Amino acid sequence: MSSDAAVQIDRVGKRYGRSWALRDCTLSLPSGRVIALVGANGAGKTTLLHLAIGLMRPTEGTVSVLGTPLRPGRSQSLSQVGFVAQDHPLYRGFTVAEMLRYGRKTNTRFDQAGAERRLRDLDIPLERRTGRLSGGQQAQVALTLALAKQPRLLVLDEPVASLDPLARRDFMKTLIDAVAERDVTVLLSSHVVTELERICDHLVLLRGGQVCLSGDIDDLLAGHRLLTGPRVDDAALDGLVAATHGDRNSHLLVRQPTTAPTHPRWEAHPVNLEDLVLAYLEGQD
């Protein structure tokens, strides 16, 4: 395992019946980073996250978390992992204060005082039952419980998927502030690429159950260009990721270096994260 890897996945496959959700995945997730996990529905994102937090075992291959291989009955490293699921599961009949007491009893390093302070700052009443909170407040409580574990690895599975734009913004601000305060690796799955571009510095893209692209976001963006100009044959280009064509013009996203068209009317432009993600999700290799 890489010495600076928070999660190491080696030749991992996960099969449900006759279908493979993941196949032959090898991946090293660097420590101390905020990592975006993206992919279309059914690409294997939730399966990968559940493998990383020990909720399921791979059909083949190995998973190591915080330097420790995950094996049945050996999950010491998982006490240092926080998890927030998409539906923010909470005991709906519990008050927020009762959820915090439950967290303290089930986690030896639980930061009760810090959790209470964070919720007060968010104006979330401790005496209110969680089932009576708004969706945004429930998400904040779930995040606060995960952070109060004082994890070294924080895993979030589509945590803002059901939230309105304001609640989504507030959740992400809380996450950014928490990461700034402590040494934690974050693995964040989301379809909201614009949010990921603001807070993440590393990208993992899954397509069809396999790792299609991974690396530091700055390096990945610098290593690609969007070419626009007169229509051109895709087969003439090395490093082509995705192409769209009009009657007379083509728009090509390519890896650098590449054999670019030499026509003087061709122009090269930088790409943003959304350009890159969509190109690989729709691409041909």
For residue 114, the Cα-to-chain-centroid distance in whole angstroms is: 25
Residue with the larger pLDDT of the pair 72 and 225: 225
Give SS3 for 89.
coil
Checking if the pLDDT of 212 tops 50, the result is yes
Instruction: Show me where the domains of the chain are located.
Output: 5-218, 223-282
Strands 34-38, 202-207: parallel, antiparallel or unpaired by DSSP? parallel
Look at 16-25, 122-131, 228-237 and tell me which has the smallest mean pLDDT: 228-237
pLDDT tens-digit profile of 154-208?
A: 999 998 888 888 888 899 998 998 888 888 999 999 888 888 888 999 999 999 9
pLDDT-derived band of residue 1, with 50, 70 and 90 as boundaries?
very low
pLDDT above 90: percentage of residues in the chain: 59
Please provide residue 155's backbone torsions phi and psi, each rounded to the nearest 5 degrees: -115, 130
Share of the chain above pLDDT 70, in %: 92
Mean pLDDT score, 70-75: 66
What is 5-218's CATH number? Answer: 3.40.50.300
Coil, strand or helix at 156: strand
Alpha helices in 149-188 (DSSP H): 165-181
Q: What is the mean pLDDT of residues 52-66?
A: 92
pLDDT over threshold 50, residue 35: yes
Return the structure tokens found at 225: 């260009």
What letter represents residue 199's amino acid? I
Dist. CA 281–CA 285, nearest whole Å: 10
